C-alpha cells in the first residue's frame, strides 16, 4: 500500500472473522469448546455483522453444581494463603493482561461491538483493578476501637467470605468480571463466573489467562471456574447455597429476579443494575466542555453503557444553543465498523436493541417529543444483518414514562428548567440512581448538586459526563440500580466477612454496660 491509498477496510466475511477469532484465542491459550449435538450450547455471534461465528458448548445444571463444589473445596486452601501471596497471583494476571491487551480488546470489539479505543480502555481497566487489588492485598484489615472495660482489647478482623458467583452483562464483558475477580481473589475468595451469553469468547480468553496466572504462581486452579450459558445457568449459580456472595451485573429486571433468590437463602448480593443517567446544564456552564462531555457519555459504546447519559436537563437560557451544537456534533458522528479508524459509534449488540430504540422514539414522539438529530438505522457495507444506528437527540416537553425507563441504545432526551431545585427534583424522579453530573461554573450550584439535597445517585460528577469512571472509586448506584459498590475505595468489604473480637488480657471479668452477674 502506498501512503496515498486509503487503509484497507477490515473484512466482514464470516469466515475471516472466525479465522481471526480462532487465531486470537489460540494466542491467548484458549479454545472454543465445541457443542455436542444433544448438549447445551450457545451461539457466539458478532454484532459487527449480526452473524453466528461458533456454536459453543454451554454448562448444564450439573456442571454448575460441580464448578461450585470445586470452588468451595478450593476455598479451604485459598483462604489460608497469606493475602500478599494471593496478591502475587493477581499481579501475574495483570501482567498477562497487559501483554495480551490488543488481542483481548479485539475480542471485546468482536463480541460487544466496542470501537477499538474503548475496547482497549476496557482491558486497561482490568489491568488497573489488578494493580489496585495487589495494593489491597497488603492493606485489607480492621480497626481497633477503645474498649469500655479495663484490660480489654476491642477490634475487628476481616476474613475471606467464600465462593463468589459473578454474573456479568454483555456491555462490559471483561472489566466487570475483573473488578470482582481481582478483589475477590486477594480477599481469599474463589470465583465462579457466568458471563453474558452474548460474550462467551472473551470469557474463554480471560479464563485462559487467569488459569495461566494461577498455574504459574502455584494457586489452586479451582479458585476460578467459568460456566457458560444463558439465564438458566445464572439461575442455577445464584440459587446454590454454597455461593456466599452473588455479584450480579445487568438489567434491573435481572436484579429483581436474582435478589429475592439469594435473600431467601440468606446469601449476600452485590447488585449492579440499570441506570438512567442525567446531566444538568446551568447557564454558567462552559458549553464547549459540556458538548464534549455530553457527546462522549451519550453516544460512547453506542449508548450501551450502564452510565450512558440518557437525559439532559438544560437551563432554558442556554437550551437552544446547546441543542444546536449537539445536533451539529451528532450529524458528524462517524457510525460504522468499530475496527475502522475514525469510527466513534459501533453497532448495537443485537437487532432487538435497535427495535427497542425505535419503539422508544415512537413513544417519545407520541408524548410530544421532537427528534432533532439521528435515530435512523444505518446500513454498513458487508454488515447488512447488523444493528447500526445513528444516535438520537430528542427534545421532550417533560419527563414522560419512556424517559424514566432505561432504553439500552443511544437516545438522549433533552428537557429544560428555570429553577435548579426543580431541575434536581426532575433529575431524581426516575427509578434508577446510578450516575449523574452537573455542568456549571458556579461553585454554589456544584455544591448544591453534590449535597444531601442534590443528586440521589451513587456517582455524582461536576463538569464531566456521567460515564467513564476510574477504578479507584467505589462504583455503583442507588434505588433500582441495586445499591452495590464494586471496584475501588472500600468496596473490598463486600467480599469479606467481619468478626468483632474482644480480648480480655486482665484477670478480672467485668461485664459491658456495668452489668453485675454475681
Ligand atoms: P441482562 O440483565 O439481560 O443480563 C445480564 C446477565 O444476567 C447475563 O449474564 C444473563 O444471562 C444473566 N441473567 C439474566 N436473568 C437472570 C436470572 N434470572 N438469574 C441469573 N442470571 C440471569 O443484561 P444485559 O443486556 O447483558 O446488560 C445490559 C444491562 O446491564 C443494562 O440494564 C445495564 O444498565 C446493566 N449494566 C449495569 C451495570 C452497573 O454496573 N450498574 C454495568 C453494566 C451493565
For residue 169, report the distance from its CA to the centre of ligand 1, in Å.
4
Tens of pLDDT, residues 363-373: 999 999 999 99
- Look over the chain and give the mean of its residue pLDDT values, rounded to a whole number: 97
* Strand pairing report for 191-194 and 163-167: parallel
The CATH number that applies at residue 128 is 3.40.605.10
Residue of the nearest CA to atom 22 in ligand 1? 231
Q: Is residue 169 part of a domain?
A: yes
Which residue's CA is the nearest one to ligand 1's atom 43? 306
**CA atoms within 13 A of residue 265's CA, in its CB half-sphere:** 15
Domain of residue 417, residue span: 277-462
- pLDDT at residue 68 tops 90: yes
Condensed to tens digits (0 to 9), the pLDDT of residues 236-278 reads 999 999 999 999 999 999 999 999 999 999 999 999 999 999 9
User: 518 vs 329, 452, 498, 511, CA distance in Å?
Assistant: 80, 49, 32, 11
Is 189 in the same domain as 202? yes
pLDDT at residue 232, rounded to an integer: 97
pLDDT single digits (tens) 400-449: 999 999 999 999 999 999 999 999 999 999 999 999 999 999 999 999 99
Ligand 1 atom with the smallest distance to the CA of 252 is 32
* Cα 441 to Cα 434: distance, rounded to the nearest angstrom: 23
- Same domain, yes or no, for 296 and 210? no
Determine the pLDDT at residue 1: 36
Q: Which of 169, 200, 435 to mutate to test the pocket of ligand 1 (most atoms within 8 A of CB)?
A: 169
The model's pLDDT over 388-401, given as tens digits with 9 standing for 90+, comes to: 999 999 999 999 99
Q: What is the CA radius of gyration of the chain?
A: 25
Give me the mean pLDDT over the 3-25 stretch: 84
Within-domain flag for 237: yes
Widest Cα–Cα separation across the chain? 96
User: Is 272 an annotated catalytic residue?
Assistant: yes
Percentage of residues in the chain having pLDDT higher than 70: 98
Q: Are residues 295 and 363 in the same domain?
A: yes
pLDDT on residue 8: 65
Q: pLDDT tens for residues 27-52?
A: 999 999 888 888 999 999 999 999 99
Q: Are both 421 and 489 inside the same structural domain?
A: no
Å from CA of 168 to ligand 1 middle: 6
Cell matching residue 456: 440521589
Q: Cell 487467569 identifies what position?
A: 210
User: What are 416's strand-pairing partners?
Assistant: 314
Going by alpha carbons, the residue nearest to atom 23 of ligand 1 is 250
Residue 4 pLDDT > 80, yes or no?
no
Same domain, 391 and 310: yes
pLDDT band at 9 (very low <50, low <70, confident <90, very high): confident
- Look at residue 59 in the predicted model and tell me its pLDDT: 97
Report if residue 507 sits inside a domain: no
Its pTM surpasses 0.95: yes
Residue 6: DSSP 8-state:
P
- Crossing angle of helices 200-216 and 101-112, in 10° steps, is 150
Q: Is the CB of 233 under 6 A from ligand 1?
A: no
- Per-residue pLDDT, averaged over 474-498, amounts to 98
Q: Does 6 have pLDDT greater than 60?
A: no
Q: Does residue 477 surpass a pLDDT of 80?
A: yes
Q: How many angstroms separate the Cα of 107 from the Cα of each of 18, 22, 23, 272, 443?
A: 11, 10, 11, 23, 43
Cell of 258: 436474582
Instruction: Compute the distance from residue 242 Cα to the ligand 1 centre, in Å.
Output: 22
- Report the pLDDT value the prediction gives residue 149, as an integer from 0 to 100: 97
DSSP letter at 153 equals E
**Residue 258 CB less than 6 A away from ligand 1:** yes
Q: How many domains does the chain have?
A: 2
Question: How far, in Å, CA of 132 to CA of 492, rounded?
Answer: 11
Burial (Cβ within 10 Å: 0-12, 13-18, ≥19) of residue 153: middle
- What's the confidence (pLDDT) of residue 385? 94
- Give 81's DSSP letter: S
Domain containing 330 — which CATH number? 3.40.309.10
Q: Give the pLDDT confidence of 75-132 residue by residue, as tens digits.
A: 999 999 999 999 999 999 999 999 999 999 999 999 999 999 999 999 999 999 999 9
pLDDT at 5 over 60: no
Q: Tell me the angle at which helices 200-216 and 175-187 cross, rounded to the nearest 10 degrees.
A: 30
User: Is there a single domain that holds both residue 89 and residue 116?
Assistant: yes
Domain shared by 244 and 390, yes or no: no
Residue 2 in this model has a pLDDT that exceeds 50: no
Does residue 306 share a domain with residue 385? yes
Ligand 1 centroid to Cα of residue 153, in Å, is 45
Domain annotation covers residue 30: no
Q: What angle do CA 31, 58, 306 make, to 5 degrees?
A: 90
Dist. CA 21–CA 103, nearest whole Å: 9
Q: What is the pLDDT of residues 146-201, one digit of tens each?
A: 999 999 999 999 999 999 999 999 999 999 999 999 999 999 999 999 999 999 99
Q: Is residue 10 part of a domain?
A: no
- Is 259's C-beta closer than 6 angstroms to any atom of ligand 1? no
Determine phi and psi for 113, rounding to 5 degrees: 80, 15
Asked whether residue 411 falls in the same domain as residue 427, the answer is: yes
Amino acid at each position: 500500500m502506498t501512503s496515498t491509498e486509503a487503509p484497507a477496510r477490515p473484512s466482514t466475511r464470516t469466515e475471516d472473522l472466525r479465522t481471526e477469532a480462532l487465531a486470537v484465542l489460540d494466542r491467548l491459550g484458549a479454545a472454543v469448546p465445541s457443542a455436542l449435538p444433544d448438549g447445551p450450547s450457545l451461539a457466539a455471534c458478532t454484532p459487527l455483522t449480526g452473524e453466528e461465528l461458533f456454536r459453543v458448548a454451554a454448562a448444564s445444571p450439573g456442571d454448575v453444581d460441580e464448578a461450585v463444589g470445586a470452588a468451595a473445596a478450593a476455598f479451604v486452601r485459598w483462604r489460608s494463603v497469606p493475602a500478599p501471596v494471593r496478591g502475587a497471583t493477581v499481579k501475574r494476571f495483570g501482567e498477562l493482561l497487559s501483554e495480551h491487551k490488543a488481542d483481548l480488546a479485539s475480542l471485546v470489539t468482536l463480541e460487544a461491538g466496542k470501537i477499538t479505543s474503548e475496547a482497549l480502555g476496557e482491558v486497561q481497566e482490568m489491568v488497573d483493578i489488578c494493580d489496585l487489588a495487589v495494593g489491597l492485598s497488603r492493606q485489607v484489615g480492621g480497626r481497633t476501637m477503645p474498649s469500655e472495660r479495663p484490660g480489654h482489647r476491642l477490634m475487628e478482623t476481616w476474613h475471606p467470605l467464600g465462593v463468589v458467583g459473578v454474573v456479568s452483562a454483555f456491555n462490559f464483558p471483561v472489566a466487570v468480571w475483573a473488578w470482582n475477580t481481582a478483589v475477590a481473589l486477594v480477599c481469599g475468595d474463589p470465583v465462579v463466573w457466568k458471563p453474558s451469553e452474548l460474550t462467551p469468547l472473551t470469557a474463554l480468553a480471560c479464563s485462559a489467562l487467569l488459569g495461566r496466572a494461577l498455574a504459574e504462581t502455584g494457586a489452586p486452579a479451582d479458585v476460578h471456574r467459568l460456566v457458560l450459558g444463558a439465564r438458566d445457568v445464572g439461575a442455577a449459580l445464584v440459587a446454590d447455597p454454597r455461593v456466599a456472595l452473588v455479584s450480579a451485573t445487568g438489567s434491573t429486571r435481572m436484579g429483581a429476579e436474582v435478589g429475592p433468590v439469594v435473600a431467601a437463602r440468606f446469601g449476600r448480593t452485590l447488585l449492579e443494575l440499570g441506570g438512567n443517567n442525567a446531566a444538568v446544564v446551568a447557564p454558567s456552564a462552559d458549553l464547549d466542555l459540556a458538548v464534549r462531555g455530553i457527546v462522549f457519555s451519550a453516544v460512547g459504546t453506542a449508548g450501551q453503557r450502564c452510565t450512558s447519559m440518557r437525559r439532559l436537563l438544560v437551563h432554558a437560557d442556554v437550551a437552544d444553543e446547546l441543542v444546536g451544537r449537539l445536533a451539529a456534533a451528532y450529524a458528524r458522528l462517524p457510525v460504522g465498523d468499530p475496527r475502522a479508524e475514525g469510527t466513534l459509534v459501533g453497532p448495537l449488540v443485537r437487532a432487538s436493541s435497535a427495535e427497542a430504540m425505535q419503539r422508544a422514539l415512537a413513544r417519545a414522539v407520541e408524548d410530544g417529543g421532537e427528534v432533532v438529530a439521528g435515530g435512523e438505522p444505518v446500513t454498513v457495507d458487508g454488515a447488512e444483518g447488523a444493528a447500526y444506528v445513528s444516535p438520537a437527540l430528542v427534545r421532550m416537553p417533560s419527563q414522560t414514562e419512556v424517559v424514566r425507563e432505561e432504553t439500552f441504545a443511544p437516545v438522549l432526551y433533552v428537557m429544560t428548567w428555570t429553577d435548579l431545585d426543580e431541575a434536581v427534583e426532575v433529575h431524581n424522579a426516575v427509578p434508577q440512581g446510578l450516575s449523574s453530573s452537573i455542568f456549571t461554573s458556579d461553585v454554589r450550584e456544584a455544591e448544591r448538586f453534590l449535597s444531601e439535597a442534590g443528586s440521589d445517585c451513587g456517582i455524582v460528577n461536576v463538569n464531566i459526563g456521567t460515564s467513564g469512571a476510574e477504578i479507584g472509586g467505589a462504583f455503583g448506584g442507588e434505588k433500582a440500580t441495586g445499591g452495590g459498590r464494586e471496584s475501588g475505595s472500600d468496596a473490598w468489604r463486600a467480599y469479606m466477612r467481619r468478626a468483632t473480637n474482644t480480648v480480655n488480657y486482665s484477670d478480672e471479668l467485668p461485664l459491658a454496660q456495668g452489668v453485675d452477674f454475681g
